[in-house]
Structure formats: structure tokens, C-alpha cells
Amino acid sequence: MNRPSEHHATAIVKEYGDVEPIGIALVGAGWAGNRHAIGYRALPDHGRIVAVVDTRRTIAEAHAREWGASLFTDDLAAALDRPDVQAVDICLPHTLHAATAEAALAAGKHVLIEKPFATSIDEADAMIAAAARARRIVMVAENVRFDPLYLRMTELIFSGTIGAPFLCRISRDHHLHDALRARPWFFTDPTGGIMWSGGIHDIETVRMLMGDAPFQEVYATAARKTLAAMETDDTSVGLFRMGGGGVAVLSESFSTHAPHGERTRVEVFGPDGSLMTDGDGTLTIVTPDGVHAEQIPPEDTFTAEIRHFLDCLRAGDEPATAAWTMRPGLAAILAARASMAVGAPVAPEPSRF
């Protein structure tokens, strides 16, 4: 089957190859929208926010003034009608992603969309098909794919430093009760739980480190809640069996106390060694020759992903995190949520692309 975006490059080069900066409508001015705005403001020659859309009109107005946008509105259609909007950046609650993206694509706009980009495989496939019809990009804003620490780990793995990985363990620990109360949709939205919000990041890290091996079976379970208001999981664990005999284990929590308030520990094991990090910039490498550490210079991963998106629009390239490439990770998290519900292993929806 041909990739659904096979004609993107020609269309993008003709329309935007010489346009700088690219005009952005930022839809959703909450926490994620603010992080994306920092990226655009760090890249003024690449892209600029020309419209801010938020249901809270006063918030939209305040951020439009702060970010230099000429339009603030609570009406998405008003932003999509603007000829100076070439792309739409969607930073909304998960259940609003698909409809907003399809509206943007129908208006001829490219799309950058926060993870998880859809809440079902049907939504994902409809969005991928809409992008192909419109010959527009849909890029998922999955910032772990741009983290220099994980990119270095991937480089070492593919150079054969530890051999072919057979086990990846990721523990995401943070105590976010107060932060979640400032984003109350997380409590009642069926996709507001930690496996959706943190697990979707970590499953993409697994895919990076384990060579994008397909997921064959997922078993997941939720722990007893300590955040009673959370209708879904505030702590959960998933076991992911992968093609080639690899296994990944994810431990996710909104409720664990960790050093400095947050820690994501990543460990990957191969027959010839292991790699591990606490996400603090230090990478520990264990081989038969001994143990040594590398310090990986940090980079703002939100700015990195936004730079990649804008560069792809100008060059006519397909993004590294195009929606169709992110479908297997979404399918794995959907299988984890289904497994929690039925109390048994679930096979993820296989990739169509």
C-alpha cells in the first residue's frame, strides 16, 4: 500500500517553499498552547502566530496581545477563513482533536496536533485519509521523538553498542494533583488518564529504542487511586509484547513522589549491555568494557518539534512524526486501555501502512 501522503511534497513546495515566516493559528491557549507559543517565539523567522483560538475569549485576547497575533476569537471558522493562516496548531483536550483537524484540513491548512492525535483508530484513519485527500501535512507533536537524550540512545542502539534490545522499562513518576486541578477536563474526560497522557509519550520512546517493532499483545492494569476525582487511571502499568521477542514495561503515575517533583527513568537492555537515564541529561552506558556516563546537552523539545514542522512545510518534506507513522503507538495505548477494562491481554489494531 502506498503511503497516504505520497503527493505532499509537490504541493507543499509549490505553495510554501519561499514563504517565511509561516502563519499559524494556535487553537487552545492552555498549558500545551503556551509551550508551543514559546517555540514559535523562539523561531520568528520560521513561523509566527497570527491567530489565537480559545473558547475562553478573554484568554485568547490576552495571549494574542502577548504573542503578537492580529486575531483572537472563540470561533475556529474565523481563523480558518484567514488567508494568512497556512497551518493550524491544535492544543485542545484529546476528544476535540479529530474534528478540529478535519476542519482545518478541509480549509486547506496543514496541521500540527498534540498527542494523542486521536482517541480511536477510526478517528486516526479518517484524519490520515483527510490529509491524503487534501495533500496536506498532519504532524503529531510528539516531543520525545525530538529529545536529544533519546536520540543519542537510539544512535547507540543502532550502532550495535548493546546488541538488539530485548527489554525496555520506563517509569514515569510525578505528583501532579495540583497541576491537574488547573486542567479539570483531565478528571472527567475518558482520555484524561495517565496511560493516555504519559503512556503515549513513553510508548513512542519504546518504539524509538526497540526499532519500531510491532506490538503484538498488551496487558495493562490500574492501581488503586490516590486521586479520587480522576475517573480513569491515575496510576497504571502496561506490559507490551513486541515482534522479535522484545518486551516493554511502562509504569505511569500522576500520584508518585519523585525527586524534584518529576522523573522519567528509561532503561533498555541488550545482550551486550544496557543504557539508562533519569531524563536529567545523564546517560549511563553499561558494556563488558565497564560503565561510563555521557552528558547530553539539553534542548527544548517543543521548540525542536515546531522547527521540524515548519522546516517540513517550507521544504516539502514529510515529518518524522506524520500521523500515519504515529498510528501504531496510538493503537498500543488503545489496547492498554481496553486491557484495563477487560482484565485480559488485548492485541493492538495492526498497522495498515
DSSP track, 79-128: HHT-TT--EEEE-S-GGGHHHHHHHHHHTT-EEEEESS--SSHHHHHHHH
Q: Name all domains of the chain by residue range, CATH numbers in brackets.
A: 8-142+304-316 (3.40.50.720), 148-298 (3.30.360.10)
Count Cβ atoms below 10 Å from residue 246 Cβ, excluding itself: 23
Find out whether 348 and 340 touch, Cβ atoms under 8 Å: no
Tens of pLDDT, residue by residue over 58-100, are: 999 999 999 999 999 999 999 999 999 999 999 999 999 999 9
The Cα–Cα gap between 32 and 201 comes to 14
Per-residue pLDDT of the chain (353 residues; tens, 9 = 90+): 334 444 344 444 445 556 679 999 999 999 999 999 999 999 999 999 999 999 999 999 999 999 999 999 999 999 999 999 999 999 999 999 999 999 999 999 999 999 999 999 999 999 999 999 999 999 999 999 999 999 999 999 999 999 999 999 999 998 888 888 888 888 888 888 999 999 999 999 999 999 888 999 999 999 999 988 888 999 999 999 999 999 999 999 999 988 777 889 999 999 999 999 998 899 999 999 999 999 999 999 999 999 999 999 999 899 999 999 999 999 999 999 999 999 999 999 987 76
Find out whether 248 and 242 touch, Cβ atoms under 8 Å: yes
Buried b (16+ CB within 10 A) or exposed e, 235-245: bbbbbbbbeee
Q: Residue 182: is it exposed, middle or buried by C-beta count within 10 angstroms (0-12/13-18/19+)?
A: exposed
Indicate the pTM of the whole model: 0.92
